[in-house]
Structure 1
Amino acid sequence: MTLGGILFDKDGTLFDFGATWNAWAVGLIQHLSEGDLRTARRIAEVTDFDLDAGVFRPTSPIIAGTGREAAECVSRALPDAHIDALEAVMNDHAARAPQVPPTDLVPLLNDLAGRGLNLGVMTNDSEYAARAHLTAANVLDRFDWIAGFDSGHGAKPAPTPLLAFASQMDLDPARVAMVGDSTHDLIAGRAAGMVAIAVLTGLADHDTLAPYAHAVLPHIGHLPDWLNASG
């Protein structure tokens, strides 16, 4: 069946996870800890962030979680913090985090749209942050549909937000590819009856993703070749 749409995850997919979010985490921890090393190490511990190396560990709950879940995670190290206020601070920092795409997004998305494909973004980040990041990358207008965990459709790994995209685009889910860097993305894609495509620009490796994916690509820049090969 010929594809009619592609739904992208954002972090680790449209943008390289490590190149973007490691620096964000360092800055956020410095801000929240107010320079206190013990508090910084508590935050790093609950988020599974290697503070000395300045990198997320692959087991971090922050990687595929929603913005709310990330705030709840951090709050375990900051018992006096109000969860709504903490989430707002984290969302503000996230919206301003500089994004690093794994390939030149404009020609890639133009190529995909030129094939008649509807393009969407479904992220477990907030919709506000997603729109801010896509705007900064000059690709907001390339997408027909954008949703975050807070857009009213649910969050991955549930299939409901993916099915919302298919419904809005009037597409059979089987004609949609879900492209992501985590098992959350791929599990959601398969549960929705979509083609699940993994990319290796997050923190999960090939062996972790392959059992859940119909195809594993180095990064999204390989999508046109994959489409050409798959007919």
Structure 2
Amino acid sequence: MRTVVFDLDGTLADTSGDLIAAANACFRDMGAGDLLDAATDAGIALRGGKRMLTEGLTRLGRMDAAVVEQYYPMLLEAYGDAIAEHTVFYPGALDAVGELSARGYGVGICTNKPEALAEQLLQALGARAAFGALVGADTLPVRKPDPAPLMETARRLGGDPARTVLIGDSDTDRNTARAAGVPSVLVTFGPSGEDMAALEPEALLHDFADLPDLVQALIGRNS
């Protein structure tokens, strides 16, 4: 089986609002108030919890790796308590997933979000059943850009890891696909969209409506 594996944050869904809210809860606990703004810091949010904590502490002039590690569990807890207040799928994302499944591709998710939180989010959004496999940051001993999580996702879908394509939104996704020796498609509608062309993926995606035919061109029909 040919497989299509998606990154989650910044690729399928804009999760930045809920991530920033969780980070700001940590900053308030530090007595610093809200340091990140959903309107301007979405790109930072989609790089993960530790990246947000690092940015906020840097803005305060108090960057300390130990404080980042101290507050990271609190950030995850706050995020889990309000994981889908602002998160939305990008337009056409689930339609594209459904069309890929209808064409016979295995469809899964490989994310650097902790697996339990990714499961929780997809359940909260009513979309877990659309994906045949989910591999998170802590599913294996390694995470993206190591190729192992991508390859494991393809295997869990019943596919050949060499006959897959990774849909993502970052250099991490580009490097994961390169390490696995498979094509990558990077979306241009996220906060860092204008930077994707410089990463030289096999294709850029401007509209999810184009994805099924793009996948077919890259890895062929599942037949």
TM-score, normalized by length of structure 2? 0.78
Which of 13, 18, 21 is 2:16 aligned to? 21
- Partner residue in 1 for 2:26: 32
| Structure 1 residue 145: Cα displacement | 0.7
For 2:216 and 2:139, the matched residues in 1 are separated by 33
For 1:127 and 1:24, the matched residues in 2 are separated by 16
For 1:80 and 1:5, the matched residues in 2 are separated by 36
For 1:178 and 1:133, the matched residues in 2 are separated by 20
| Structure 1 residue 210: Cα displacement | 4.3
Which of 34, 43, 47 is 1:64 aligned to? 47
Amino acid at match of 1:39: A
For 1:31 and 1:84, the matched residues in 2 are separated by 11
Q: 1:171 aligned to 2:159?
A: yes
For 1:119 and 1:153, the matched residues in 2 are separated by 23
For 1:178 and 1:122, the matched residues in 2 are separated by 9
For 1:85 and 1:207, the matched residues in 2 are separated by 31
* SS across alignment from 1:116: coil
2:7–2:167 contact (8 Å) kept in structure 1: yes
- Partner residue in 2 for 1:191: 179
Identity of aligned residues (%): 26
2:171–2:199 contact (8 Å) kept in structure 1: no
- Partner residue in 1 for 2:206: 218
User: Where do 5+ consecutive residues of structure 1 fail to align?
Assistant: none
| Structure 1 residue 102: Cα displacement | 1.5
Number of aligned residue pairs: 212
For 1:71 and 1:136, the matched residues in 2 are separated by 23
2:19–2:79 contact (8 Å) kept in structure 1: no
1:102–1:221 contact (8 Å) kept in structure 2: no
Amino acid at match of 2:77: V
For 1:151 and 1:221, the matched residues in 2 are separated by 31
| Structure 1 residue 222: Cα displacement | 2.1
- Partner residue in 2 for 1:10: 8
Aligned CA RMSD, in angstroms, stands at 3.2
User: Where do 5+ consecutive residues of structure 2 fail to align?
Assistant: 58-62
